[in-house]
Structure 1
Amino acid sequence: MDSIKVFAPATVANVACGFDIFGFAVDSPGDEIIVRKSDLPGVRIKAIVGDEGRLPKQAERNTAGIAIQTYLKHIESDQGLELILHKKMPLGSGLGSSAASAVAGVFAINELLGRPLKQIDLLPFAMEGERLACGSAHADNVAPSLMGGFVVIRSYNPLDIITISTPAQLFATIVHPEIEVNTKDARHILKNEVSMKNTIIQMGNVAGLIAGLMKPDYDLIGRSMVDVIIEPIRAILIPEFSEVKQAALEAGALGCSISGSGPSMFALSRDQPTALRVGNSMQAAFQAVGIGSELYVSGINQEGPRVLG
Structure 2
Amino acid sequence: MRDSVKVFAPATVANVVCGFDVLGFAVNAPGDEVIMRLVDEPGVKITKITGDDGRLPLDPAKNTVSASVQDYLKHIGREDAGITIELHKKMPIGSGLGSSSASTVAGLFAVNTLFGNLLSRKELVPFAMKGEELACGYGHADNVAPALMGGFVLVRSYEPLDVISLPFPEDLCAAIVYPEVDVPTKDARQMIRSKVFLKDAVKQWGNVAGLVSGLYTSDYDLIGRSMVDVLVEPVRSILIPEFYAMRQLAMDLGAVGFGISGSGPSVFALTRNQETARKITDALQARLKTVQINSLSFVSPVNAKGPVVLD
TM-score by length of 1: 0.99
Q: 1:180 aligns with which of 175, 182, 185?
A: 182
Q: Which amino acid in 2 is paired with 1:296?
A: F
Deviates more, 1:281-290 or 1:207-216: 281-290
2:206 matched to 1:227?
A: no
Instruction: Give a deviation string over 1:112-131, Cα, whole Å, max 9, x none.
Output: 11111122111111111100
Q: Which amino acid in 2 is paired with 1:37?
A: L
Q: Report how far residue 272 of structure 1 moved.
A: 1.2
Residue 7 of structure 1 is matched in structure 2 by: 8
Q: Which amino acid in 1 is paired with 2:192?
A: L
Q: Report how far residue 189 of structure 1 moved.
A: 1.0
* CA–CA separation in structure 1 for the residues paired with 2:118 and 2:169: 33
Q: Secondary structure at the match of 1:4?
A: strand
Residue 107 of structure 2 is matched in structure 1 by: 105
Q: Secondary structure at the match of 2:258?
A: strand
Q: Secondary structure at the match of 2:165?
A: strand
* CA–CA separation in structure 2 for the residues paired with 1:31 and 1:169: 25
Q: 1:120 aligns with which of 109, 119, 122?
A: 122
* CA–CA separation in structure 2 for the residues paired with 1:206 and 1:286: 30
Residue 162 of structure 2 is matched in structure 1 by: 160
Q: 1:290 aligns with which of 288, 292, 307?
A: 292
Residue 45 of structure 1 is matched in structure 2 by: 46
* CA–CA separation in structure 2 for the residues paired with 1:203 and 1:143: 21
* CA–CA separation in structure 2 for the residues paired with 1:278 and 1:241: 14
Q: Report how far residue 240 of structure 1 moved.
A: 1.0
Q: 1:213 aligns with which of 205, 208, 215?
A: 215
Note the aligned Cα RMSD (angstroms).
Answer: 0.7
Q: Which amino acid in 2 is paired with 1:63?
A: T
Q: Report how far residue 2 of structure 1 moved.
A: 1.1
Q: Secondary structure at the match of 1:57?
A: coil
* CA–CA separation in structure 2 for the residues paired with 1:53 and 1:132: 18
Q: Which amino acid in 1 is paired with 2:51?
A: G
Q: Give the number of equivalent residue pairs.
A: 309
Q: Secondary structure at the match of 1:281?
A: helix
Q: Which amino acid in 1 is paired with 2:12?
A: T
2:72 matched to 1:63?
A: no
Question: Please, which runs of 5 or more residues in structure 2 have no aligned partner?
Answer: none
2:249 matched to 1:238?
A: no
Question: Please, which runs of 5 or more residues in structure 1 have no aligned partner?
Answer: none
Residue 268 of structure 2 is matched in structure 1 by: 266
* CA–CA separation in structure 1 for the residues paired with 2:16 and 2:257: 10
2:145 matched to 1:143?
A: yes
* CA–CA separation in structure 2 for the residues paired with 1:171 and 1:297: 7
* CA–CA separation in structure 2 for the residues paired with 1:230 and 1:23: 15
Q: Report how far residue 65 of structure 1 moved.
A: 0.8
Deviates more, 1:281-290 or 1:36-45: 281-290
Q: Secondary structure at the match of 1:9?
A: strand
Q: Which amino acid in 2 is paired with 1:23?
A: G
* CA–CA separation in structure 1 for the residues paired with 2:187 and 2:88: 26
* CA–CA separation in structure 2 for the residues paired with 1:165 and 1:99: 22
Instruction: Give a deviation string over 1:236-272, Cα, whole Å, max 9, x none.
Output: 1111111111111111101110000000000001111
Q: Secondary structure at the match of 2:127?
A: helix
Q: Secondary structure at the match of 1:104?
A: helix
Q: Which amino acid in 2 is paired with 1:152?
A: L
Q: Secondary structure at the match of 1:284?
A: helix
Q: Report how far residue 45 of structure 1 moved.
A: 0.2
* CA–CA separation in structure 2 for the residues paired with 1:223 and 1:260: 20
Q: Which amino acid in 1 is paired with 2:294?
A: G
TM-score by length of 2: 0.98
* CA–CA separation in structure 2 for the residues paired with 1:119 and 1:57: 26
2:157 matched to 1:129?
A: no
* CA–CA separation in structure 1 for the residues paired with 2:73 and 2:301: 34
